[in-house]
Structure formats: C-alpha cells, structure tokens
C-alpha cells in the first residue's frame, strides 16, 4: 500500500471517530450532513502531512494548508506507459503535483480536441484521453498543472509569419532551429489564452505559462529583424521598456481572462531575472510579472548559471547556489504588496555538456540539497525538471519543519 493510500485510510478513521464531536475554532471540525460542499481547514498536527485534499462520497471537501511539490510530465509521458511509473513515484513520496504539457515547446497541442476547436489543426494525439488523465489525478489527490508554452512557437510562426519575427523574407530561427511569435501582438496573446481556457475547462487547477518572453539575446537583433510592435510602436519608451511592458501586459491580461475559470495562474521565469532590475533582451521583469500571478516559478537549475553569487561552478554546489538565490528572491518578493507563492524549478538531470570539472552527476544527494536550500530560506514549494521524465529514485522530498 502506498503512503498516500494509507493516509486516506487514516483520515477516514479519524473522521469516523470525530463525526459526532464538536471542536473549537479551526483546530478540528464536526462532520455532519448539515454542511454539504463545505471546505473546512483542518489541523496539520492531526492530519497526515501527505494529504492536501479529500472529498467524501457525500460531497464534503476537506482541506488544510500544504505546499505543492511537483514533477514535469510531457504529453507523451502522460499519454503513454511511463505515466503509471510517474504516478507511483508521486504516490510513494511526498510529491503531490504534476506539470503536464498542454501546448508544448514546438507549439503543438498535446491532445486532440473536438474537430470544431480552433486548435485542432495543431493538435497531436500524445495524450489520447486527457479527461481520463485528470480523473486519475483527482482520484489519487495529485494537483494538476497545465503547462502552456507561449511565445516559443515554431508551429504558429511558420503558419503565420506575420505573427513572428522575419529575417529578410524568412521566419527567424535561433541556433537550435526554434522560432518565436511576437509578444507585442494581441492576436498572439489571445491564441495562447485560448489554449489556457481549454485546459481550464478540461479540469486543470492551474495554468503555468512558460517562455513568457522574447527570444534570448533579442537586444542584439531588435533593430535588424522585421516585426510589428503593434500598439507599443508609439509608446514613449526605449525598446527595452517596450519589451518589458509587452511581456508584463500579457501576463496581466491572461490572469484577467482566466478569472472566470477559477484557476491559479503561474509563470516560469529565468532565475537570473530576480537578480536584475530586468532582463533587457527578453523583456522579463521579475517584480512586475510577480505582481500579476498567483505563483512565480523561477528556473534556478544550478547547471544554468555561470559564475554567480561568488560560486565559480554552480552545478557542483547545488545547495549553495539555491540558498543564495532564495535569499535574493525573498528580498525581491518582500517589496511587493501582493506577493505570489514562490515555487522554483530545480534540476534532476546531469549537465554533462558543461564539460569535465564543471558539472556533477545529479542524484539523491544533489536533489535533496536543492530542496534543503529552499526550505532553509522558507520556500516549501518546488517543481522538479527532467526533460525525459526519468526521476531519481529514493529522494526524500519531505519539506523541513523549520517554522
């Protein structure tokens, strides 16, 4: 029996014993049939830490505070044989969430919607039955997050070059052959928000927008590529600030458009952005984006930093890198009136491309070191990235109790 199944049985036993007793305030609750569909906060000291939500057959939903700890899942994995292994990983550990590709890094929808959908032509049959996937996650109490890749979109760029950046008469590609669409254009915003709305209708509880930015190094080509600035053309701002405004405005717009669907909105952002006033080429301003989301997910993979925070080879020192980053982020978020939840991305992969002496093989110790670095700075939520969805076995994901 998995830890989560055991937790549910324990919870049922607790409520059976408590069902006819009244308790004070929010420490415990009286369970009766007089309060259908009522959400009640429960005492963490009484209930198993693993469980974030349980719904009785009668319709009662009981919740208590918890932190989201998740893994990345591709559309292929969610729709294939690997899914059962990933479910087992989550059920047998203190993980409790999955971030599943809905619109992937190429621009494809990862499932087939109804033929009347405006996204049918860009859909793939990776996830054959997304409704069944979500039903399984609900049954197993796994929090479902839909990942929507926004402005990196080779499919849309090639089908509608006018929404992209052109190098001469051709759609511009980066060194890896990827193309981007133009964050200045509202048509592009609506296209991606529409995908997010479809994900919300499917039953995802959170929409995570990724690649919410201009291409890397855009400041070097912003005057040579051909593209429209739309309504930002006549703004009395330099090109850097125009990009910042466009990216921030998209996030605010997406959040507003998704409000009727009762989903949380999160954004992935480069970790180094929190250490700067703003990232000039890509248009990301950490503070401005954070003001418009429920969750901010900085990508702080140690392998993706050059010498930083006085650490010459960050990939070799995951604990120190994550801890130093967390200090900076905490300070930045403390200055916001309505700060979002911090839920960084950490790595569970080996960056051998960095070359001998610049990387370490990542396993149990390295993943746990990153989690500890976050926890010690008060950050209890995290997401774990492995592009192939092959995660290290035996990792203790339990957050430190340092309240």
Taking 50 as the threshold, does the pLDDT of residue 50 lie above it? no
Band (pLDDT 50/70/90 cuts) for residue 271 is very high
Highest average pLDDT, of 20-29, 49-58, 107-116, comes from: 107-116
Q: Taking the model in full, what pTM does it have?
A: 0.85
- Tokens of residue 286, six digits: 């950490």
How far apart, in whole angstroms, are the C-alpha atoms of residue 235 and residue 40? 49
| Domain boundaries for CATH 3.20.20.80 within the chain | 67-385
Q: Which residues of 301-333 are buried (b: 16+ CB within 10 A; e: fewer)?
A: bbbbbeeeeebebbbbbbbbbbbbbbebbeebb
Mean pLDDT for 55-64 is 41
Find the range with the poorest average confidence among 26-40, 177-191, 364-378.
Answer: 26-40
Find the range with the poorest average confidence among 37-41, 46-50, 286-290.
Answer: 37-41
Find the range with the poorest average confidence among 7-16, 101-110, 115-124, 329-338.
Answer: 7-16
CATH number of 67-385: 3.20.20.80
Tens digits of residue pLDDT in 124-144: 999 999 999 999 999 999 999
% residues pLDDT > 90 (the chain): 81
Beta strands, E only, 42-107: 53-55, 61-63, 69-73, 97-103
* pLDDT reported for residue 48: 37
How far apart, in whole angstroms, are the C-alpha atoms of residue 74 and residue 103? 10
Band (pLDDT 50/70/90 cuts) for residue 78 is very high
* pLDDT reported for residue 228: 96
Positive or negative CA dihedral for 201, 203, 207, 208?
negative
């Amino acid at each position: 029996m998995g830890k989560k199944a055991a937790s549910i049985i324990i919870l049922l036993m607790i409520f059976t014993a408590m069902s006819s007793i009244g308790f004070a305030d929010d420490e415990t609750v009286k369970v009766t049939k007089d309060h259908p569909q009522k959400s009640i906060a429960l005492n963490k000291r009484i209930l198993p830490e693993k469980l974030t939500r349980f719904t009785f057959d009668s319709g009662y939903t009981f919740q208590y505070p918890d932190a989201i700890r998740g893994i990345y899942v591709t559309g292929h994995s969610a729709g294939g044989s690997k899914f059962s292994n990933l479910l087992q990983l989550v059920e047998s550990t203190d993980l409790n969430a999955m971030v599943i590709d809905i619109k992937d890094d190429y621009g494809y929808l990862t499932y087939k919607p109804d033929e009347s959908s405006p996204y049918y032509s860009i859909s793939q049959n990776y996830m054959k039955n997304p409704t069944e996937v979500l039903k399984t996650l609900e049954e197993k109490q796994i929090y479902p997050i839909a990942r929507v890749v926004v402005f990196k979109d080779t499919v849309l760029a090639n089908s509608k070059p006018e929404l992209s950046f052109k190098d001469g008469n051709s759609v511009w590609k980066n060194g890896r052959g990827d193309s981007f669409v133009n964050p200045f254009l509202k048509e592009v915003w609506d296209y991606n928000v529409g995908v997010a709305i479809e994900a919300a209708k499917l039953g995802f509880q959170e929409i995570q927008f990724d690649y919410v930015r201009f291409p890397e190094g855009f400041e070097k080509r912003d005057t040579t590529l051909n593209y429209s600035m739309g309504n930002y053309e006549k703004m009395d701002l330099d090109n850097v600030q125009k990009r910042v405004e466009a990216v921030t405005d998209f996030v605010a717009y997406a959040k507003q458009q998704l409000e009727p669907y009762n989903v949380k909105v999160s954004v992935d952002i480069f970790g180094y952005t929190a250490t700067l006033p703003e990232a000039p080429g890509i248009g990301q301003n950490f503070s401005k984006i954070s003001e418009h989301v429920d969750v901010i997910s900085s990508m702080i993979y140690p392998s993706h930093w050059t010498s930083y925070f006085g650490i010459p080879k960050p990939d070799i020192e995951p604990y120190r890198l994550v801890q130093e980053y967390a200090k900076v982020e905490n300070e930045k978020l403390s200055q916001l009136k309505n700060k979002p939840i911090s839920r960084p991305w950490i790595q569970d992969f080996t960056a051998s491309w960095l070359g001998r002496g610049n990387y370490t093989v990542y396993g149990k110790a390295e993943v746990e070191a990153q989690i500890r670095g976050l926890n010690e700075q008060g950050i209890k939520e995290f997401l774990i990235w492995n592009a192939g969805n092959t995660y290290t076995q035996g990792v203790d994901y339990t957050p430190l109790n340092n309240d």
